[in-house]
A = this chain, B = another copy of it.
Amino acid sequence: MKLPRLAPHVVDDAVARALREDLGDAGDITSNATIPASATSRAVIAARKPGVIAGVDTVCAAFRQVDPAIQIAVEAGDGARVEKGDPLFSLEGPSRGILSAERVALNFLGHLSGVATATAALVDAVAETKAQIVCTRKTTPGLRALEKYAALCGGGRNHRFGLYDAVMIKDNHIAAAGGITSALAAAKSAIGHMVKVEIEIDRLDQLEAAIAGGADVILLDNMSTEDMKQAVDINQARTVLEASGNVTVKTVRAIAETGVDVISSGWITHSAPSLDVGLDFK
């Protein structure tokens, strides 16, 4: 799997914010009181459940921001599939710093690996079909860029990042614009030539108007798999078809087998359980 490089500011800003949240003004009063400033330790971060890793850069940034003297060796990179007990990072350096950054590092790692693991579960379930699993804008506030990246680590793809980078015409837009045809026309006359346009339909009889209107992508919202299959047949590959609604590990295979191109899931970002990871001193 080929992963993009996260922009440094995305990682650094999120980690700095989390460290301020955890250290506050008084800092790590427990470690300061009980551990000598000169003490050093070796520690390992390991998986306590199987899963897919995401967030390596955030872990490194957390320790580095707290104390640049901490040495970090990455044992399992982003996208790695790991088993319970697998080592993920080896650390060595000032004990206080390791303990002060521990919780922030683990919170990022567990959360993002949770997203990657949930994504991978859907991706695995649609193996051998052509369907791509994509994440949505139903992300945790403040963490969208990192969660989008975590979905890639799990083998998924990204839908648009925000309201700003692609057009998605939903029912209320259609109603306000006076129908599918006029909504698509309005969108295409307003946007630049580098922006894609998707439109959401929930009935098969809307499909031809959407294709004719020049939609790059058509979202089949909460349709039955029967209807999705029909949509695929009608479409004849003229445009990209995306399915959404009631996408779970149990349902996703049947959706993929309808022949849709893309399946979008909010669950992988807004409800993925954290992957259990822990740090132990050696």
Identify the A interface with B (CB < 8 A).
2, 4-10, 14-37, 39, 41, 58, 65-66, 95-96, 99-100, 103-104, 106-108, 110-111, 114, 132, 134, 137-145, 148, 157-177, 183, 186-187, 189-196, 198, 216-217, 240, 242, 261-262, 266-267, 270-271, 273-274, 281
Contacts and interface: CB of A to CB of B under 8 A. Distances in A.
A165 B10 CA distance: 16
B196 A194 contact: yes
Given A35-B176, A194-B196, A195-B29, A163 B23 contact: yes
A161 B14 CA distance: 18
B34 A176 contact: yes
Nearest to A262: B193
8 contacts: A7-B24, A18-B142, A21-B145, A24-B162, A24-B164, A58-B141, A140-B140, A196-B196
A107 B270 contact: yes
A14 to B, nearest CB: 6
Given A7-B23, A17-B141, A141-B143, 12 more contacts: A24-B163, A25-B145, A26-B164, A30-B167, A30-B169, A33-B167, A134-B192, A157-B191, A160-B192, A161-B164, A194-B217, A267-B273
B198 A159 contact: no
A34 B173 contact: yes
Nearest to A13: B20
A27 B164 contact: yes
A170 B41 CA distance: 15
Given A141-B17, A161-B164, A270-B110, A193 B240 contact: yes
